Amino acid sequence: MSVPLAAIERIARKAGVDRISADAVRELQKTLDDIGFELAMDAAEAARHAGRKTITKEDVFLVSGKRNA
């Protein structure tokens, strides 16, 4: 499942991008999918390590390097 292209364009606009090529949008989509997959895998491992089957917000914060849970 991929992040919709329109959502990626909205994210780029929020980041201050005025123009973005279709190729750049597709590359961002692929990169976001890859990063999301890796974060989900790492968060699942963190949950298993804690003896849980459910990934929590704290697991995602832990594996993403965010400080505020």
* Domains defined for the chain, CATH in brackets: 5-64 (1.10.20.10)
Res. 1 pLDDT band, cuts 50 70 90:
confident
Distance separating alpha carbons of residues 19 and 64, to the nearest angstrom:
29
Does the pLDDT of residue 64 top 70, yes or no?
yes
Separation of alpha carbons 41 and 44, rounded Å: 5
Q: What is the pTM of this model?
A: 0.81
Phi then psi for residue 45, to 5 deg, are -65, -40
- Tell me if 34 sits within 8 A of 50, measured CB to CB: no
